[in-house]
Structure 1
């Protein structure tokens, strides 16, 4: 057989085994070092002199009787061979400790603004602006109907039955505002879920898959398939369904909250005095809940991948598992990983309940301030319609505060899916399939290449 030895991308030696050993160059040194390393790993506890002699004997046995044995023995000194054998043992131990597959990286800290900008670019700024505009206009119509009812009630109380405005006028304005509210809601749903959501999902999926298909084989050797499946399935489920809904709801609840607080502030000036303290408490609750839920959600995502990975490995080796009677071990491992994921999911639910209780306490203070204001005012200074409007909006703040805090935090948490997809989309890929003639990576191949049967 012909042996070709490559070194630094060039052919260093070529020839038969006996000829290369007799030459005593690089190939001979490699064989001698391999013999020393192999003997050093198998025969622990022997002296260095015995290791050297056995190594020389092994290299001579490989060559056979002849001049090759003397040359192989003289290739390296016993001292250098002992040192290389010890280094080889250390490297072997390091390789065992290191392992090929690394644990999945769990990012910490808050989400960067680039993650939100990436999703907004996927939606396009045009559709994001339209969604915000329609949400504001819908809330204006909603508050307008309440103000119109207040005006209607006030007119009935302040004027005589003969001078009251016609009923058809009030019904026409109220019906018109309601109709505009419904029509804008239909258009808003179509823009948000019929256009923007689909475009964002297609954009992120196209970037992710184009990068995955161009990753080097080493990535798939060191990354479990279950980890990739988790990102394609679970993370894209959030991008396709949950993030659009949470974004839509967060904007709606934010606009509704601003409108409610504005009405309460104009009708109850006492609320303006306490509003800085209420805002500080709400900010404290929101901040701590957001940090906790974000960390727990990241743990949920990371603990879900091993479940997919273990299930896939179990299906692939089910015959071996049954043959070795290891069903109990694999069932216990699956239960342990499922429990770890369930614990983090339950912790997330506990955080939601904690936030809801504190937010309801904040809203109780708002309602109390509005009620005290109308009780302490002189009788007749505020009509019943204004008081009823303020109290109704103050009581509705409870749900607006809770749902805004929850939807905003859920949106923040689900945006981790975009972060995880972005992490894979930024991985380094293989070289491009083709290069331009003036590129730095090399000159482009001719159109009819190759013209000959050699490179």
Structure 2
């Protein structure tokens, strides 16, 4: 066309290039492994996500539960001390009243204890739900708003690892970890208080046993924490390799690389198992040492209780009995407490890893209220590239270099070139999947960089080479945002020559499509006519059908290439 000018303009200089010094030219960056103690900000992030009120309410009510539990034990011991068989007489109304009062108080303490425990668990459930929601939503939001450069440099396995395993840890493990930690901590404190009240001399051994306990804790927790981090990092390649193997199964078989992929899978799993096994061994190391501390507590509690009774330091057998009974449980409680501390240190890493992906750079703003295109934009379809340049991400060469082109309304332009010439870059640039390094793109008088991405991508469309069909109805696949009426959808189907196909579906626009469109009826054309029209399986079962022959020819051609 004579009145249209298309020119390719270059400034004569070589394109800007930013050397990737840190990654040495690697496309996929090595996954970061945090080291050292988990920052307090990570714990605060989890508590904030659970909401402070629910967290404090749970802790306070659980403390009340433990206090009433101890009071119930002391009340029972006082009742046993007050019992005298010589004075007991079933006809003695005073004793019956006293017994009733003691039984009523004991029952009231037990009921209050149960209510506090129940309500605390209710608060814990809601706190866990809030934490899951408030951590998962920003992750999903940020992933959906991440630029293409993020997905180019981040393996899918890493993303799936965070969206699957790390979210599972936050959903299921962390609430229980905090519950058991609070329970163990309060139970240890209450046990020591009970023992000291019954045998005050026990306070002498608390300091050395406490120092030994802290030393073991300081040695074990950092080791377990780092092993858990390594375990999480070693899990990501398993997801990535498995997904790549499934997607590329045909190519793997075609090039006879099955054994290599199998061996590689074995190496990846072995690396994960090494970290997992080391974690288990460290747990057994901890158990042996905590059993020793627990046995020391039981030994000294029993020894001092006996000495107190022998030398008359304690006159209440019931209190001594409470002390010994609490001491008998200390071994399990100490073991469980340290294990929960290490488990929280290890599992809170999931919050750390998820927060990492909520802080990655995002695309441009979704909506710019002060700069929205006019209604009905674009109405003509005039596109103007002005000295436009772009690159896929920082550090790479320009893929479009100073391009200037005018496309008139209604004009059809064919873009040709060798692989890597920049054909698909034009489409990515129009949708701002990649941002300009210079110049502008103007559609019907609107600079696409001056409006929100939703306004841009919601008003222009593209027919991709590989169609994507979602699980859902035909209506949802054609109009996912429910913006069009049935008449408009049928009109679009008619323009695409698919109205006949859609009208043959039993439920019409409400026909449910399987993932990837696996249940769609195939239409085989021959010389401009519909030769076959049926489901893929029905056509494949008929060996004389054109579709079955086409599949067989494709398979034979693939075998010949091997």
TM bin (shorter chain): 0.7 to 0.9
Q: What is the CA-CA distance between 1:2 and the residue it aligns to? A: 5.2
What is the number of equivalent residue pairs in this alignment?
A: 369
Structure-1 separation of matches of 2:156 and 2:233: 14
Q: What is the CA-CA distance between 1:303 and the residue it aligns to? A: 0.2
Q: Give the equivalent residue in structure 2 for 1:385.
A: 318
Cα deviations by residue, 1:358-405 (Å, 9 ceiling, x for unpaired): 111112221222222133333555332222111111121111111111
1:454 aligns with 2:433: no
Q: Secondary structure at the match of 2:329?
A: helix
1:429 aligns with 2:362: yes
Q: What is the CA-CA distance between 1:335 and the residue it aligns to? A: 1.0
Please identify, of 95-104 and 260-269, the stretch whose mean Cα deviation from structure 2 is larger. 95-104
1:176 aligns with 2:103: no
Counterpart of 2:138 (choices 207, 212, 215) is: 207
Q: Secondary structure at the match of 2:348?
A: helix
Q: Secondary structure at the match of 2:83?
A: helix
Q: What is the CA-CA distance between 1:292 and the residue it aligns to? A: 0.5
Q: Give the equivalent residue in structure 2 for 1:410.
A: 343
Q: Give the equivalent residue in structure 1 for 2:185.
A: 254
Q: What is the CA-CA distance between 1:270 and the residue it aligns to? A: 2.1
1:141 aligns with 2:68: yes
Q: Secondary structure at the match of 1:98?
A: coil
User: Unpaired runs of 5+ in structure 1?
Assistant: 7-11, 13-25, 34-87, 438-443
Kept in 1, the 8 Å contact 2:291–2:331? The answer is yes
Q: Secondary structure at the match of 2:29?
A: coil
Q: What is the CA-CA distance between 1:339 and the residue it aligns to? A: 1.1
Structure-2 separation of matches of 1:447 and 1:125: 45
Change (3 A) 1:190 1:330: same
Counterpart of 2:278 (choices 324, 347, 356) is: 347
Kept in 2, the 8 Å contact 1:261–1:397? The answer is no
Change (3 A) 1:159 1:113: farther
Kept in 1, the 8 Å contact 2:23–2:29? The answer is no
Counterpart of 1:101 (choices 20, 25, 28) is: 28
The root-mean-square deviation of aligned C-alpha atoms, in Å, is: 2.5
Counterpart of 1:125 (choices 28, 37, 52) is: 52
Change (3 A) 1:215 1:280: same
Structure-1 separation of matches of 2:114 and 2:37: 37
Kept in 1, the 8 Å contact 2:42–2:352? The answer is yes
Please identify, of 334-343 and 152-161, the stretch whose mean Cα deviation from structure 2 is larger. 152-161
Give TM-score, length-normalised by structure 2: 0.62
Counterpart of 1:287 (choices 215, 218, 231) is: 218
1:232 aligns with 2:163: yes
Q: What is the CA-CA distance between 1:445 and the residue it aligns to? A: 4.0
Counterpart of 2:8 (choices 4, 8, 26) is: 4
Q: Give the equivalent residue in structure 2 for 1:116.
A: 43
User: Unpaired runs of 5+ in structure 2?
Assistant: 381-443, 447-562
Change (3 A) 1:386 1:100: same
Q: Secondary structure at the match of 2:27?
A: coil
Kept in 1, the 8 Å contact 2:230–2:275? The answer is yes
Please identify, of 355-364 and 305-314, the stretch whose mean Cα deviation from structure 2 is larger. 355-364
